[in-house]
Amino acid sequence: MTSAHPATSARGKTVVVDVVIVGAGLIGLATAWELRRRGRKVAVIDPAPGQGASRAAAGMLAPISEVQYQQNFLNPLMSASAAEYPRFAAAVEQACGESVGYRATETLVCGVDQADRQALTDLSRLQQSYGMAVASMALSEARILEPALSPRLSSVFRIPTDHQVDPRRLVSGLLTALAGRRTTGTFPDGGPAHVLRGQAKALRWNGSGAVAGIELADGQSVLATETILAPGLGVAGLEGLPDTCRMPLRPVHGDILRARIPPGTPHLIERTVRGLVHGLPVYLVPRADGTVVIGATSREDNQAGPSAGGVFRLLRDAQALVPGVAELELTETMARARPGTPDDAPYLGRIRSVSGEPVAGLVISTGYFRHGVLLAPLAARLASQLVTGQVGADPAADAAHLSTTDPHRFPVLAIGRHGVSSQASTLKNAKN
């Protein structure tokens, strides 16, 4: 692909770039940055960059503790992206001159009652069967590492390689790197990216059936050879999409709290502490400054704001694992919707038409559900490779990832007289 120079028309209404990305959440921003590193001129469109699901995320990079039954197809994606994180985080930090809060601290998974212990033991066997490093430890040993753990836990499992990043710092670092405010010469010729604060309204098509960019709600246009849709749940609001783009995507709300230690007191915990409290999940993720992020609710009730019951449950269950939570100052409660797919794997790939032919110039990257922070480096690299034609160090592994994330693996949603309705979400290729 040739690199057109960004140009703004006399009326300031048209921007021309190589790649336009709809959505400046972590997925869109990381993808834009990866493309910029590869010398592409990029524009990212978003009315509120970084304020979607990425704003709420706890930032756990947890390919092992996030293992679910019947979802082994997700494991290669999660472990590949986790392996890319140290270099990804270091490169963003080098480009922006700020910490992104990447911490290679470990994770302790705890249970409260005997049923929790059994469930975690069973899960640890599944994780071990995949060759993952997870080991049961005595509560007395765990309390030497983390003295704030409750003395009443039934079980503790140690996962040394499940780490964390601070998604808000990562968003801020990527925006700085994209704007070129502080670069260290890592960008060959892409120049600063355009971060346009606006709402993408519709796809633009050229006369030969290729996507030619995006029209914004304010009348501006961004013309590009390649368009990447990374608007999280916002895909449904875009006009002019091929019908094959109406894949099933649903909001799964999560309540999340932020709390801080009183000034002058030591950090409550140093490791991520998560687990089951009478069967319900909860996690506590400690930032370097002592802030603790508490979450784990999953609601499909369409209530956008924090749920009173959810906040109550999080505080109650977090205290069951770490009683000292009661002494923290609660600084924030918020909720955001995760973009959920029927099998929890994202949609990442070239859009195809009804006849199965690729639609020229159109890639989708959404549906990251509960793993979007973890999957950001891999998602950014794969989307960049799709639009540049470059290949990674392990093309066979990348092809397998893209097969898992095939955006057309489910039947599309029907668009009827009463708007979009859901058809049966049967898997095209059964996952085991």
Ligand X SMILES: Cc1cc2nc3c(=O)[nH]c(=O)nc-3n(C[C@H](O)[C@H](O)[C@H](O)COP(=O)(O)OP(=O)(O)OC[C@H]3O[C@@H](n4cnc5c(N)ncnc54)[C@H](O)[C@@H]3O)c2cc1C
User: In the chain, how many H helices and how many E strands?
Assistant: 9, 20
Alpha helices in 45-113 (DSSP H): 53-56, 75-96
Instruction: Map the footprint of ligand X across residues 317-356, applying CB under 6 A.
Output: 336, 338-339
- Distance separating alpha carbons of residues 74 and 210, to the nearest angstrom: 32
Which amino acid is located at 49 in the chain?
P
Per-residue interface string for the shown chain with ligand X, residues 144-173, x marking contact by CB under 6 A: ------------------------------
Closest contact distance (angstroms) between CB of 306 and ligand X is 10
Closest contact distance (angstroms) between CB of 144 and ligand X is 26
- Distance separating alpha carbons of residues 105 and 270, to the nearest angstrom: 8
| Contact between 253 and 299 (Cβ < 8 Å) | yes
23 makes contact with ligand X (CB under 6 A): yes
| Contact between 195 and 175 (Cβ < 8 Å) | yes
Quick one: 299 exposed, middle or buried, by C-beta within 10 A (0-12, 13-18, 19+)? middle
- Distance separating alpha carbons of residues 286 and 226, to the nearest angstrom: 39
Question: Number of residues in contact with ligand X, rule: CB under 6 A?
Answer: 43
Instruction: Kindly tell me which residue out of 368, 380, 401, 405 binds ligand X, with binding defined by CB under 6 A.
Output: 368
Instruction: Kindly tell me which residue out of 26, 123, 284, 364 binds ligand X, with binding defined by CB under 6 A.
Output: 26
Candidate ranges 230-238, 257-265, 320-328, 409-417; the one touching ligand X (CB under 6 A): 230-238
- Distance separating alpha carbons of residues 396 and 414, to the nearest angstrom: 34
Closest contact distance (angstroms) between CB of 377 and ligand X is 11
Closest contact distance (angstroms) between CB of 364 and ligand X is 11
Within 10 angstroms of residue 313's Cβ, the number of other Cβ atoms is: 17
Per-residue interface string for the shown chain with ligand X, residues 291-310, x marking contact by CB under 6 A: ----x---------------
Instruction: Map the footprint of ligand X across residues 31-50, applying CB under 6 A.
Output: 45-49
Q: Whose Cβ is closer to ligand X: residue 290's or residue 340's? A: 340
For residue 325, give the nearest of 333, 316, 334 by alpha carbon: 316
373 makes contact with ligand X (CB under 6 A): yes
Q: Which positions lie near ligand X, rule CB under 6 A?
A: 22-28, 45-49, 51-54, 56-60, 199-200, 230-232, 234, 237-238, 254, 256, 295, 336, 338-339, 366, 368-374
